[in-house]
Structure formats: C-alpha cells, structure tokens
Chain A
Amino acid sequence: MGVEIGLGITILNKCSGFYGILGLLTGHQLDFMQWVLYLTSVFTLVVYSLGLTTVYKPKLQTYAFVLLTFTADTLITCFFTLWFSGMWFAAKESELSDPSSATQQTSGGISSGSKLLTARGETLSSQSASQATEYFFTILVSLIALVSRFYFNFIILAFVQRLFRHPKYLVDQDDVDQDLKHKKLWQRWWIRAENWSYRVCHHYLA
C-alpha cells in the first residue's frame, strides 16, 4: 500500500520534466541544471511507472533498480532543492528591485491605497501575509516535500528488503546472468542496470 502510494505520488511530481521541456516551444531557454533536472525526471518517471505497474507482482531485479534509482533521485532532489532555492531568491530580489517589474509598477497604487482603505476595521495590507509568513510557508512546504521523499524512500527500501527475504522472490542466478546477445541495445542496458542493482541490493539488504 505504501509503495503504491509513494510511487504514484512521485510519478505525478515527475511529470514536471515534460512540462519543463515543453517550455522550449514557447521560446524559453533552459540552463544546464534545468536540463539535468527535467531529463532525470523523465527517466525516473519511466522507472517508477514500471515499478508501479508491477507492484502486486514485483520482480526483485526491477524493484532493486527502482530502489537505487529512487535513492539516487532523493539525494539529487536535496541538491536541486538547495540550488533552485538560490535561484528563486535571486529572481525575487530582481523582481522587487527592478523598476520595470510588475511588482514595482503596481506596488505604488496598492500600498498607498491600503493605507486609506479599511475593511471591517483592519487595513487591507494586514490581509496579505507578511514576509516572514511567506518565508515560513515556503520553507515548510519544501521541507514537507523532502521529508515525504525520504519517507517514501524508506518504505521502498523496506519493501525491497522484505522481497529479498521472502522465499517467493528468490532469484535464480541464471536469470541474472542471462544471455543478452539477442536483445536490443536499450534492453541490454536496462537488464544490465537491473542486474547490477540486484547485486548491490543483495549485498546490503539480503
């Protein structure tokens, strides 16, 4: 249940990769870090989707691959969260200080009006969140997203560990060392990645 919910929620979030790349069609340029983020999102979306579709009949190699991908993705997400936080706060400074920005263009009218107008005994400016509140919710939501990610990671880790210890999911070594000559290139890479993940997970979890 936890694996299904965790993977499903993560997959929904990974759709951002498609929309980030779709932005190219509107003439928007992506920087290197955005390219990395969106391409990894698309790749992980494929891996997690494979995991979700087999959640009731899991294959140990596939789930070992999902686990390692998810774990690496969690670490990368932590890094990206810090990186793009810096990007946002830089962009915000620019928005607040640039005379041609929408904020500067409209703030005069809004702030002077808010001093004059009152709503039920309160100034209108008090109806907007303070800067401290904005920061608080921004940090809170970011932290909740990160904590949820770690939580889902641990759920998947526990699931794979139990798969390793369950007799039904014992893997025949011949399956791991199967002949790959007649497979397509991407299939060979995929199976090799799964098998490598299986060996790594077997070493630490079995």
Chain B
Amino acid sequence: MSEIFKRLFMSHRPANSKVSQLETSLNPTITLKKLRSYTPSLGDLCHYAFLGSVLLFVLIVYPAALILKLSVYVLFGVLFLLPATSQFFFNALPIFTWLALYFTSSTFEAKHRPPITVQVLPAIETILYGDNLSDILAASLNKPLDIFAWLPYGIFHFGAPFVVAIILFLCGPPTLLRGYAFAFGYMNLAGVIMQNLLPAAPPWYKIQYGLTPANYKMKGSPGGLKRIDEYLGISVYTEGFSNSAVIFGALPSLHSGCATMEALFFSYVFPKLKPLFIFYVCWLWWSTMYLTHHYFVDLMAGSVLSYTIFQYTKYFHLPLPEPSVYSRWSYADIKKFSVWQADPLNGDGGDLENLAVPLAVDTDFELNVMENSEPPSIFDQDRSVSRSSATSNTSADVQDDFVSAARPGKQRID
C-alpha cells in the first residue's frame, strides 16, 4: 500500500525539498518558541480578534456548564500547542469557529432574535429573476427526480468537504489546504451570522403556510427530503431538519456556498475538469429548489459569498498550482499569485518605448507599491516560499508569470 502511495505521489519529489514536509513532533516547546518570535501583521490581528470574539461569545452564551466549556477550549488549546496536530487544527480555526456558532444558534432565545421575514425572499426572487423559480422547479415531482435531487443535497454535500480537503492536500501545492480551510470556514461563518441576523422562511414554508407570519415556536421541515425518508423507511431528514439549528436560515444557502467553494478550489487545481465542477454546482442548485429548501436568491447569495471569499483567498493567500503536477510532494517551492503583476494594465507590455506613454506613470507607481507592500498573509511560512525575482517590470515574461515573493522574515506560528 505504502509502495503504491510512494509511487503515485512521491516519485517526482525534488531532492532536498522541504516545502511538503509535515511536522511530526509532539513537543509543545517548538510551538511556544515560534509563538515568542511571531510578529502578527494587522491582517493577522483582525483575523484572530474576529475569531476570538466569536469564540468568546459562544463561551458565554452556550448553555452548558462553564467547566465543560472550558475543558473543550483547553483541549483545543492542547491540539494547537502540539506541532503535529497544530498544523491541521490551528489552520482549521475558522471552521471550528463556524461550527461553534452554528450549534450555539439553536440556543438563542426568541426575544433576542430578529423578526422572521416571509415575503422578502419570494419577492426578491420574482423581482430579480422574473418568477418564483423555486416554486416552478418543484411543481412536477416523481421518484427518479427525488433520488436525483437527493444525491447532491442529502449525501454529497455532507461528505464533499472532507473528500475535497483530502484531495487538495494530496494533489495541490503545499499550504493549499490552509487556504481552503480559511475560505471554507469564513464563508460558512459569514453565512451563519447572516442567517441569524436576517432570518427568512424557506420555500417549504410558503408551500405549507403561504405568506402568513412565522414564529420561532414552529418546527422546521425536511421539504422534499421527507419523500426520501419515506422511500428508505427512515426519519433522518425529518428529525434533522425539524430540529435544525437555524430553521429560518434560508439566506444565504450554505449548500450552495459549500458546493461553489469546492468547485472553485477544484477548478483552481484541476482546471481541465472545470465543466464537471460547474455541472455539480448547477445540479445542487436545482436540487435545493426541487426539494423546496431554498429560493434561487439564497443560492446566489451563498455562491456570491463563496466566490468573493475565494477570490480574496486566491489573491492574498493561495499558492499557485503548477500545470501537470498532481502531488504536493512534487513541489520544490511555493509560488504565490500576485494581483499586481496579474493586472493586465500593469507593466509595459514588453516594450520599453511604451513607458513614455503618460499612463506609464500610473504603472510605475503601482509596481512600486507592489514591491514595497506585499499584502499581509496569515499563511506565510518563511522556509517554504519562493523568493522569486518576478517583480522586475522590464521582463517580457512578467505578464505571464503571476508570481510574487512572500515577505521575507514573515513567520507562522504553527
């Protein structure tokens, strides 16, 4: 087994390459030493302050014994301290924060929750997209379609994040998994915050109750997944969705957000398979409407949230995958996307004479900015990043080489 693994993933490992190495030590002093020499940037401070605030909020609000809650926090603290576990758990902090807030959401008292909107989403759907698309697509039901809708919504959605994470870890460039955890966690965290601040009834509510006012005493509904329960003789979806943590959390659709995020990351690493990933997202969109769980506007909100966070992560954190390299162990160094060099309006087009054109003043300015202010990164790791000289603005290759060097001396605390 290990021989097959080595042949598949490690046969092209460059000599003396350290970028794909994993920490195996369980000595917490290594982490503490790194922590002492760690200087956070402004971006890092915002990142940790935000996540820390949410976690503190959960610690105070979650209705459990304080000693129990503190024990969980201490356990995570230990996992963050041990280098071998820290490299995975600490980078997944946005995901843990999202999960903590999600499971706390069900405990919020009704008097502290905002009023539930029932008409906003169907109204927006009609105004922006010409009709109640979710109603129309759920108008004709049959068993094969039920199964076809159930697969992405009720099965793939729950396993896909783990499968994607494993494949990105094995096949993507080193540190890509960190970017995925960051983007996936923040997308879900932002989604749950939005669902709590703007509670809105899903399509199943309109089908059952019309536009009558909703209240927090009401149970959730499995929508079309009730038919799957009946086919299989189970009550998993009925029980799960009836007692959902965020019953009126239609906006945004995190099913859509997750599928979009997974498709974006897979397209980033396997661009040739992009049509397949687009198909998956479209399939999931259709299934959420067919099963009366979301309006089209919810799906768009989820996907737009994912797309925006993915773009941010791509611009400032993600390593660049190399074409035809499908193993993390094949990378000799890590190159990063440079938004400044990727800008087609930067540079001189490979022709020095063109610098005399007035617009070149702007160009020079932006390149200077680029050289002096590399965007802060919470993922940088000084030992593992290529110090490319691609910042030269006179090279004809620059436009095709969207590579930046990470800030020298930047350290990461895992």
Contact = CB atoms under 8 A, between A and B. Distances in A.
Interface of A: 1, 4-5, 8-9, 12-13, 15-16, 18-20, 22-23, 25-28, 30, 33-34, 37-38, 55-58, 80-81, 84-85, 87-88, 91-92, 95-96, 101-107, 110-111, 114, 117, 119-122, 124-130, 133-134, 137-138, 141-142, 145, 159, 162-163, 165-168
A8 B306 CA distance: 11
23 contacts: A5-B307, A9-B308, A19-B285, A19-B289, A20-B136, A22-B286, A26-B136, A91-B126, A106-B210, A110-B213, A114-B213, A119-B110, A124-B216, A128-B214, A129-B118, A134-B119, A141-B120, A145-B128, A162-B359, A163-B344, A166-B357, A167-B359, A168-B349
A8 to B, nearest CB: 5
Given A95-B211, A102-B207, A106-B212, 17 more contacts: A1-B339, A9-B307, A12-B300, A19-B129, A27-B139, A34-B130, A84-B127, A88-B123, A104-B210, A110-B209, A121-B111, A122-B111, A124-B215, A128-B115, A128-B116, A129-B213, A167-B357
B344 A81 contact: no
B343 interface: yes
Given A16-B296, A167-B354, A95 B210 contact: yes
A13 B300 contact: yes
A13 B44 CA distance: 33
Name the 10 nearest CB pairs between A and B, nearest first: A103-B210, A168-B349, A128-B213, A102-B210, A124-B215, A23-B136, A26-B140, A167-B354, A88-B126, A129-B115
B230 interface: no
Contact of A142 (B127, B214, B315): B127
Interface string B209-226: 111111111000000000
Contacts of A128: 115-116, 118, 213-215
Nearest to B350: A168
Most chain B CB neighbours (cut-off 10 Å) among A8, A34, A141: A141
B127 A138 contact: yes
B343 A127 contact: no
Contact of A120 (B110, B116, B119): B110
Q: Is the interface of A mostly helix, strand, loop or mixed?
A: helix
Given A12-B304, A56-B402, A129-B116, A103 B209 contact: yes
A117 B110 contact: no
Given A127-B215, A134-B118, A162-B359, A23 B137 contact: yes
B113 interface: yes
Contacts, number: 202
B414 interface: no
A117 B217 CA distance: 9
B130 A129 contact: no
B106 interface: no
A178 B383 CA distance: 53
Given A103-B209, A110-B209, A124-B215, A38 B130 contact: yes
A35 B320 CA distance: 42
A120 B109 contact: yes
Interface string B86-125: 0000000000000000000000011101011111101110
B212 A111 contact: yes
B208 interface: yes
Contacts of A9: 304, 307-308
B217 to A, nearest CB: 6
Contacts of B129: 16, 19-20, 37
Interface in B333-349: 339, 342-345, 347-349
B215 A92 contact: no
B150 to A, nearest CB: 18
A8 B210 contact: no
A130 B140 contact: no
Contact of B120 (A23, A104, A137): A137
Contacts of A129: 115-118, 120, 213
Contacts of A91: 126
